[in-house]
Structure 1
């Protein structure tokens, strides 16, 4: 084989690898049911090696397979040496716990754990059924009544560059809530308007809302918010405050 042929093969292989790396980058769609989850929802198990309760979390040092890492979950009673199960989860790098005065090089945030495989499946199925029912009803149903000139989600989607880094007030129906991930709640709202297939807005907030609530939020619109691991929100309302 000639030197020229070998060079062509090497360049072709580099191109293929580059394409695979570029395809790994993903923007999060607002209607995605796993918006803050990097991993798929298959059930996994781990053993607790150490735990700390602080700042609204239980921090676990766990072994999963051959890997040892830190995990953060809502306050939960656990036992060292015991096996637990979970699904989903999101890894974050260089996460700082101000309460512990510790920075974790890598930590996984998980919504819940269970002492049994079936316990994780049952809870996940019940939650999915509850959320999907209310979400489908809201998206397919009538629009929220708004006063003349009152901001709509479609206005924000159409003119997102104009709204970037500005504070807005927006009224919507809560269709999904992810609690206490990265020290905040992730609230998804709709108001019956949309742009293309985008119909919901994600809000991060220290306040809590329930699926089905109709609320007004005030916060800052940010674009292309990167949470690491190639997951980016193209539009997000940060530090949302509930007005009414």
Structure 2
């Protein structure tokens, strides 16, 4: 009986240790503002500063806009966007998980300042519908209205769209975010967001091929019911 009691006690203690270990490796809360990390490693590239950091015993990678960062120092940041299997071309390295941070400072970031400084990939305010835009689709292509109207039919498929660039956000989360309109409109949806490694200028009419993704959630409130990813400009 004594041996059984000892075995049961050991089992309880072991289970408790396993539970504590699981709790210690939980990922950071990407929706909270004003968090603190200690920097363990710094890698500089032309556009980003990659940081291996520790927060509450958890070690992970984050990326911020290029800036001087000191190893061993404590820094504060706001909400982070989690990216899985992110490939850095500059480093020729794939990060299993990395967090992209907009506001990063040695001084605590107030909630008001952090909220104001957050830059959205697409900008939550959709660009106004431009009635003057009237772009014909290319042969074999699809209009923006048709894409939204039959989005389930296009999910996961590669499509070709043609439209006028109305907004560009450069180099956010390792990609450029292009907004196009072609003059078509389905149920108030007329603005299409495309991620791409290539760039175009506002006002330019472009033809782009890419893959349709539905219900894309980048975290921290950045959700798209439809987006075209890995877009490439067609000559």
Shift of 1:185: 1.9
Shift of 1:108: 1.1
Secondary structure at 1:139 match in 2: coil
Shift of 1:78: 0.8
1-structure distance, mates of 2:110, 2:47: 23
Shift of 1:203: 0.8
2-structure distance, mates of 1:217, 1:88: 34
The aligned residue for residue 15 of structure 2 is none
Q: 1:185 to 1:215 in 2, by over 3 A?
A: same
Whose RCO is larger (CA < 8 A, sep 6+)?
1
2-structure distance, mates of 1:119, 1:207: 35
Q: 1:50 to 1:132 in 2, by over 3 A?
A: closer
CA contact (8 A) 1:219 1:238 kept: no
Q: Which runs of 5+ in 1 are unaligned?
A: 1-37
Q: Which runs of 5+ in 2 are unaligned?
A: 1-28
Higher helix fraction: Structure 1 or Structure 2?
Answer: 1
TM-score (norm 1): 0.60
1-structure distance, mates of 2:135, 2:94: 45
The aligned residue for residue 172 of structure 2 is 180
Q: Does 1:107 align with 2:132?
A: no
Secondary structure at 1:216 match in 2: strand
The range that moved more, 97-106 or 164-173, is: 97-106
CA contact (8 A) 2:211 2:230 kept: no
Q: 1:116 to 1:242 in 2, by over 3 A?
A: farther
Q: 1:31-70 alignment to 2 at 5 Å?
A: 39-40=30-31, 42-54=33-45, 56-70=47-61
Shift of 1:170: 1.8
TM-score (norm 2): 0.62
Q: Does 1:145 align with 2:137?
A: no
CA contact (8 A) 1:175 1:190 kept: no
Q: 1:146 to 1:213 in 2, by over 3 A?
A: closer
Structure (1 or 2) with the larger CA radius of gyration? 2
The aligned residue for residue 71 of structure 1 is 62
Shift of 1:44: 2.7
Q: 1:158 to 1:69 in 2, by over 3 A?
A: same
The aligned residue for residue 223 of structure 1 is 213
The aligned residue for residue 161 of structure 2 is 169
Q: 1:113 to 1:106 in 2, by over 3 A?
A: same
Shift of 1:50: 1.2
Number of residue pairs aligned between Structure 1 and Structure 2: 201
2-structure distance, mates of 1:242, 1:48: 39
1-structure distance, mates of 2:233, 2:106: 36
